[in-house]
Amino acid sequence: MKKEDVDKGVNVLGFPCNHFNNQEFADQQETMQFCQRNYGVTFPMFQKIDVNGPTEHRLYTYLKQEQGGLLSSNIKWNSTKFLVGRQGRVVKRFAPVDSIQAIEKTLARYV
């Protein structure tokens, strides 16, 4: 994510989830510090939520209904990303293996 994208009104939000190898910290502040230190994250990180199963957060229920995944709508890994337009519609779902260049290319069409 580049500064000029933020200047155009692009917001990135992080939602940690412990469904994937229990790799998230118990404390939201620890998660944010780890992501800042190791990945240069500057966007807001929210409290841990469930993204699959009977206790999944309703945000992810909505995201997955709008853009299902390959073979199933379940989130396969914690770096799955969704591009949501200004009106709240899900534009595209990105797999964990999708490059930042692919995301930027799609983003360029919407900002």
3-108 to CATH, choices 3.40.30.10, 3.90.1150.10, 1.10.3720.10, 3.40.50.2000: 3.40.30.10
Output the six-digit token pair for 91.
């534009």
Coil, strand or helix: which one is 87? coil
Coil, strand or helix: which one is 65? helix
Rounded average pLDDT over 48-73: 90
Q: Tokens 């993204």 label which residue?
A: 51
Amino acid (one-letter) located at 90? V
| N-terminal to C-terminal alpha carbon distance within the chain | 13
Coil, strand or helix: which one is 59? helix
76 touches 94 (CB < 8 A)? no
Q: How many CB atoms lie within 10 A of CB 97?
A: 9
pLDDT tens digits for range 22-56: 777 777 788 888 888 998 888 888 888 999 999 99
Amino acid (one-letter) located at 56? E
Output the six-digit token pair for 21.
């190898």
Looking at the whole model, is its pTM more than 0.85?
Answer: no
- Domain borders along the chain are 3-108
